Homo-oligomer: A and B are copies of this chain.
């Protein structure tokens, strides 16, 4: 192949390919020309061209999440790599292997008045697993360290900064080299736990056990062990749709909805003795508040994570093994606990679900109703991507649907990259429908997600146009201030314009009947080759009222 004459860059590409990297997102520049040439020339790398680096990095995050393989991004020097920062932070807190390859000037030209030059070293230091500089074949050790952090647990983003001297466009002919694959590190095992006996004793003696499952990609091992353990009457299991745990009858799937039915003076009954926290972020703020106020006697945080979080402020004991290993072990322990703690929770979950259904049958067209209509019609093998802010919170109120996988940027929960992440994801699973539900603010914020030619009709985007600021429907504060106009910031922007700009199909619905028709078209018609956007227009003031009444109704019904 005709590739760059920078030998260390040819080596880098061979090294990454040999270690399983398949996709690189290129944001064109001149300084990163050697990388562009080497990646594009290599037969085993698929390159994707995205100009906006903020978008590019969120694409990579989505692709890495979809494939469970590291995905690389490469950009020129200067502010280009600062645009990667939001996605790098999200990848850090969600533990997604994102590899940033930033081109740089040689060190002696930094801060000397050359264009597109900043101090790039350690620029992500607040939210990166490791940062490296790689400028020649003699820097080998750095590459190996970087890859090790990328492929071993806990995974996360890694930054390699690459200074280049001009000339940048030199070419040479050379062959692909297959390099040795780097060995994986051993992950900690159950039998390495020194205090296993002690944990067993706590387990046996805790009458009220709670397992709370944060964000996690679908994994039958997780679902299986949680189903088994849910038969233990002393165990209550709380999951969210982003936990991707299958819908078993004894598991509580809708934390916020369930908690809406629990009165202030009953809360103590729902306090666990033993709290086991597994997986990533939890969406529900209410459960965090409850468990921080009614702390468990023992809290275990299980898993091999980048950060030791004590989310429930209860002096969590950190157990660095794969959670299913521990749960599988505990499920086999003989115990006859005198407890109905699991049923107590599940019963409330069930009552709230019934109240939910009654309430839904009474309400007019509104944000809340829209979600029900979507969930009634969405094909049950789709991936559902939820934008942040109000969308992900509305989705928590509905039972998860069997067969649907739920995704959302819940690492840092920013409003910034939801469309790009979903779009990137859709590129890696071409044969599946990827449905993104987004608010209007997040849609416009990240409209550059659609500025490329690769996207196909397996990406369907539902934009809920409620005039902006829907998240403040969930918060009581803003209406009490004189600044409601700022918080509920109306946006006059036109969704259809974005569709014209980036060649997207456009549908619109403003009432229940139109929405049913357009959801049918969106999900089941396939005459397009580009993504389709369905804009749903609702009334902001109605939405807030209906949501507030929803929580009141559930509370009353359970009273």
Contact = CB atoms under 8 A, between A and B. Distances in A.
Contacts of A80: 414-416
B115 A412 contact: yes
A441 B501 contact: no
Given A113-B311, A309-B112, A30 B118 contact: no
B503 A501 contact: no
Contacts of A412: 78-79, 115-118
Interface string A20-48: 00000010101001001100110000010
B486 A28 contact: yes
Interface string A211-243: 000100000000000000000000000000000
A282 B309 CA distance: 48
A78 B497 contact: no
Interface stretch (A244-252, A328-336, A339-347, A444-452): A444-452
A535 interface: no
Given A115-B281, A127-B118, A79 B83 contact: no
A122 interface: yes
Interface string A70-87: 000000001110110110
A37 B486 CA distance: 9
Contacts of A33: 477-478, 481, 483, 487
Contact of A26 (B78, B469, B475, B486): B486
Query: How many monomers of this chain does the complex have?
Result: 2
Interface in A408-424: 410, 412-417
Interface residues of A, number: 99
Contacts of A112: 309-311, 313
A447 B52 CA distance: 11
Contact of A90 (B47, B79, B493): B79
A234 B125 CA distance: 50
A76 B119 CA distance: 26
A111 B307 CA distance: 7
A359 to B, nearest CB: 26
Contacts of A318: none
A168 interface: yes
Contacts of A47: 486
Contact of A282 (B28, B79, B113, B444): B113
Contacts of A491: 51, 451
Interface in A239-289: 281-283, 285, 288
A445 B52 contact: yes
B482 A40 contact: yes
A180 to B, nearest CB: 28
The 5 A-B residue pairs whose C-beta atoms are closest, nearest first, are: A497-B501, A169-B477, A497-B500, A79-B414, A113-B311
24 contacts: A2-B482, A28-B489, A33-B483, A52-B444, A53-B416, A54-B54, A79-B89, A79-B414, A80-B416, A93-B118, A112-B313, A115-B283, A118-B127, A118-B412, A123-B126, A169-B476, A444-B501, A493-B501, A493-B503, A494-B500, A495-B501, A497-B500, A497-B502, A501-B501
Interface of A: 2, 26, 28, 30, 33, 36-37, 40-41, 47, 49, 51-54, 78-80, 82-83, 85-86, 89-90, 92-93, 111-123, 125-127, 167-169, 171, 214, 281-283, 285, 288, 307, 309-311, 313, 410, 412-417, 441, 444-445, 447-448, 451, 453, 468-469, 471-472, 475-478, 480-483, 486-487, 489, 491-503
Given A33-B478, A33-B481, A82-B85, 17 more contacts: A33-B483, A37-B481, A40-B482, A40-B486, A41-B482, A79-B89, A79-B90, A80-B416, A89-B118, A118-B127, A118-B412, A125-B125, A169-B475, A453-B492, A497-B502, A498-B501, A501-B501
